[in-house]
């Protein structure tokens, strides 16, 4: 059992970290104030191969493993977890298209997807279906020319910002077996968006409802087969859960590093506060939790890469454990900064806000526990 990263994996991490520190970190606070990420950044990221991290090399992607991808998201989230998480969403969509779309559809769209001239959003959640995703109601009716969509998607990162939307829709009333996946390009007649959501964190990501009102798409924009969309969506979520956990890990590491520096500089009662044993214990507890989270995440990614039968369970466990750990660590880092941690200038309060949603999306951490418990009961 080898826990060391390979030379190539170390290079992948370093490349992503270097890009993030140069092109994202200096602007993250301004992008948050602006409520948007400049679109010019995405083709630059794609030049590194990050527009199709685990899209097959034959299709023009990077063909990286899920473990490799977690290194990219951990490194980029050290600059800004909001930007890194948006890239994860694009990659989840790109992998779905690479795996399930027809050759004709891929020939039409994948070059722009991989170069990130086309930025993708993932549309599963609806106002009345979150954790119970199979209860989605957006209708997709077959016509002579293709399909007509009617319904609303909620909490969509990139709503009104992205260039295309990978949407899960209902083609029959047969529960999860009645869900299909379609590709909807921006500018399609009948596609519109709600107002921008005013969020606690991830404020640089434009988030809005995606609305379909007699929205007509060609038959060729069906992804894969009718009735297989829920399966496609769930397949993508295992990797998405690893990515969002990696984003928590990277952001929490940034907070912990900043806290170590601050505690060496801040003095109280005549000495730096890192010399007080009670505060040293808190540092040690955070380091222990972070190292445990990192090993757990990489084990889950390895299981997904190797096709282990319990990969979904481990992805759920890692998502729950790592995102809980990340939120706990950044909150403790804010506390150790005292009043300064509450100020935007120190960057810690942004991380507290950004990481809070990681315990909700890609399946709430309560649902992660349901997945784990069901697996345990099934295999007892």
Q: Please provide the distance, in angstroms rounded to a whole number, between the alpha carbons at the two ends of the chain.
A: 27
Backbone angles phi, psi at 164, to 5 degrees: -160, 160
**What dihedral angle (degrees, nearest 10) is formed by the CA atoms of 312, 78, 75, 209?**
50
Q: Encode 46-85: b = buried (16+ Cβ within 10 Å), e = exposed.
A: beebbbbbbbeeebbbbebbbbbbbbbbbbbbbbbbbbbb
Nearest to 204, CA basis, from 27, 55, 373: 27
Q: Are 76 and 24 a contacting pair, CB within 8 Å?
A: yes
d(C-alpha 293, C-alpha 57), whole Å = 30
User: CB-based contacts of 291: which residues, under 8 Å, 6+ apart?
Assistant: none
| 265 given a catalytic annotation | no
Kindly name the residue from 289, 349, 362, 366 that is annotated as catalytic: 362
- For residue 128, the tally of other CB atoms under 10 A from its CB is 11
Tokens for 274, please give them.
């890192």
d(C-alpha 352, C-alpha 346), whole Å = 12
Q: Encode 139-167: b = buried (16+ Cβ within 10 Å), e = exposed.
A: ebeeeeebbbbbbbbbbbbbbbbbbbbbb
**Hey, which bits of 194-280 come out as E strands?**
207-218, 222-223, 267-268, 271-272
d(C-alpha 240, C-alpha 208), whole Å = 20
Q: Are 209 and 191 a contacting pair, CB within 8 Å?
A: no
DSSP state of 153: E
**Three-state SS for 71?**
helix
Instruction: Just list the catalytic residues.
Output: 362
């Amino acid at each position: 059992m080898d826990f060391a990263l390979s030379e190539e994996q170390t290079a992948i991490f370093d490349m992503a970290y270097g890009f993030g520190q140069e092109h994202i970190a200096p602007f993250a606070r301004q992008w948050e104030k602006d409520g948007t990420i400049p679109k010019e950044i995405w083709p630059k990221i794609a030049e590194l191969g990050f527009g199709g991290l685990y899209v097959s090399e034959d299709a023009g992607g990077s063909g990286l493993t899920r473990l490799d991808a977690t290194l990219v998201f951990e490194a980029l989230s050290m600059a800004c977890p909001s930007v890194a998480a948006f890239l994860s969403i694009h990659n989840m969509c790109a992998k779905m298209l690479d795996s399930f779309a027809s050759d004709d559809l891929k020939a039409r769209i994948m070059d722009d997807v991989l170069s990130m001239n086309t930025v993708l959003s993932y549309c599963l959640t609806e106002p009345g279906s979150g954790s119970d995703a199979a209860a989605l109601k957006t209708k997709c009716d077959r016509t002579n020319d293709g399909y007509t969509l009617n319904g609303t998607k909620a909490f969509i990162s990139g709503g009104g910002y992205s260039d295309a939307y990978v949407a899960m829709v209902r083609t029959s009333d047969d529960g999860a077996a009645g869900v299909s996946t379609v590709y909807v390009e921006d500018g399609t007649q009948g596609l519109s968006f709600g107002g921008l959501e005013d969020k606690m964190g991830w404020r640089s990501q434009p988030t809005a409802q995606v609305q379909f009102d007699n929205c007509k798409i060609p038959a060729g924009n069906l992804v894969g087969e009718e009735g297989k969309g829920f399966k496609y969506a769930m397949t993508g979520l295992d990797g998405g859960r690893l990515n969002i956990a990696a984003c928590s890990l990277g952001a929490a590491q940034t907070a912990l590093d900043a806290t170590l520096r601050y505690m060496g500089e801040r003095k109280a009662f005549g000495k730096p506060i890192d010399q007080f044993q009670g505060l040293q214990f808190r540092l040690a507890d955070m380091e222990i939790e972070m190292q445990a989270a990192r090993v757990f995440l990489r084990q889950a990614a390895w299981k997904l890469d190797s096709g282990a039968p319990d990969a979904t369970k481990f992805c759920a466990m890692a998502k729950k454990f790592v995102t809980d750990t990340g939120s706990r660590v950044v909150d403790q880092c804010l506390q150790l900064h005292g009043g300064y941690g509450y100020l935007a200038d120190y960057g810690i309060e942004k991380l507290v806000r950004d990481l809070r949603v990681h315990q909700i999306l890609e399946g709430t951490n309560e649902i992660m526990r349901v997945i784990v418990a069901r697996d345990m009961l099934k295999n007892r």
